[in-house]
Amino acid sequence: MHFGIAVSVLVPWTETNRTHRFQIRIEYEDGGPPVVQMDGEVEVGRPPGAQDGADQRAVLAINTLTQCPKAGG
């Protein structure tokens, strides 16, 4: 199965220019190992001319291929 995941992360001004780790997991509702698990890092800088104190947004797009071994909700 091919599918895409879009993620938008809003980073507070005081947390910019730092590396932030994230994890995306797709799991069955009854537990077990995840169908998909992705780990990554994002760092958002302060662009020139940004207003002091303004939160910064990072947008990520992820494409993946996976197999679902059983049906789920």
Quote the pLDDT of residue 49.
Answer: 92
Given pLDDT bands bounded at 50, 70 and 90, which one contains residue 73?
low
Domain extent, residue 18, equals: 2-65
User: What domain count does the chain have?
Assistant: 1
Rounded to 5 degrees, φ, ψ at 9 are -120, 125
Query: Which DSSP helix (H) or strand (E) runs through 2?
Result: strand 2-11
- Is residue 46 assigned to a domain? yes
Quote the pLDDT of residue 1.
Answer: 79
- Is residue 36 assigned to a domain? yes
Given pLDDT bands bounded at 50, 70 and 90, which one contains residue 55?
very high
> How many CB atoms within 10 Å of residue 44?
20
- Is residue 54 assigned to a domain? yes
Quote the pLDDT of residue 53.
Answer: 94
Q: What are the structure tokens assigned to 24, written together?
A: 């995306």
Asked if pLDDT for residue 69 goes beyond 80, the answer is no
DSSP assignment of 7-42, as one string?
A: EEEEE-GGGTTSEEEEEEEE--TT-SS-SEEEEEEE
- Is residue 71 assigned to a domain? no
Q: What are the structure tokens assigned to 27, written together?
A: 């799991």
